[in-house]
Structure 1
Amino acid sequence: MLVDHNPRKTSAPLPAGRSDPDALRRVDSATLLGPGGEVLIVHQQQVYRLRVTSLGKLILTK
């Protein structure tokens, strides 16, 4: 028997400014970060670095 454990299966509206997680684009971190394990992101003319730490966590720095 298949059981769906998705708690988002409700008809309640989402708060203003929030997107439905099921409708968001998903990108694998290895694809995003590439072989070097980091990527530069430009947001509102500011440059941020997203990288993988030595413990395998993601960190975003300005």
Structure 2
Amino acid sequence: MQAQSNHAQKVLSHPSLDQSGGGSGSATALVPSPAQLLQSTDLLKGQKTIGILHNGALYRLQATKLGKLILTK
């Protein structure tokens, strides 16, 4: 369980998740803060598929029979 937690921290603090909007070409070197971690069960709430509105577009998050997640536009 500890290894999974360490992996999640590394993934969530990856520079690609920088939410400042500056991207990797930013002149100032900011220390990224970890992204918020949510359980998929908290998002799906017992459903197989949910809709997510993002920037005016509708996306679908779907859990597969094999336990994977698919996000489609």
Q: Which has the larger radius of gyration?
A: 1
Specify which of 23, 29, 47 is matched with residue 36 of structure 1: 47
The alignment's TM-score, normalised by the length of structure 2, stands at: 0.54
Structure having the higher strand fraction is 1
- Where in structure 1 do 4 or more consecutive aligned residues deviate above 3 Å? none
Structure having the higher helix fraction is 2
- CA RMSD across the alignment: 2.9
1:5-62 Cα deviation digits (max 9, x unpaired): x6x6xxxxx5763684x62100000011111132211111110000101111100112
The percent identity for this pair of structures is: 38
Distance in 2 (alpha carbons) for counterparts of 1:35 and 1:27: 15
Specify which of 53, 59, 62 is matched with residue 70 of structure 2: 59
Q: Which runs of 5+ in 1 are unaligned?
A: 1-5, 9-13
Q: Which residue of 1 aligns with 2:23?
A: 17
Secondary structure of the residue aligned to 1:39 is strand
Q: Count residues in correspondence.
A: 51
Q: Which runs of 5+ in 2 are unaligned?
A: 1-5, 17-21, 25-30
The alignment's TM-score, normalised by the length of structure 1, stands at: 0.61
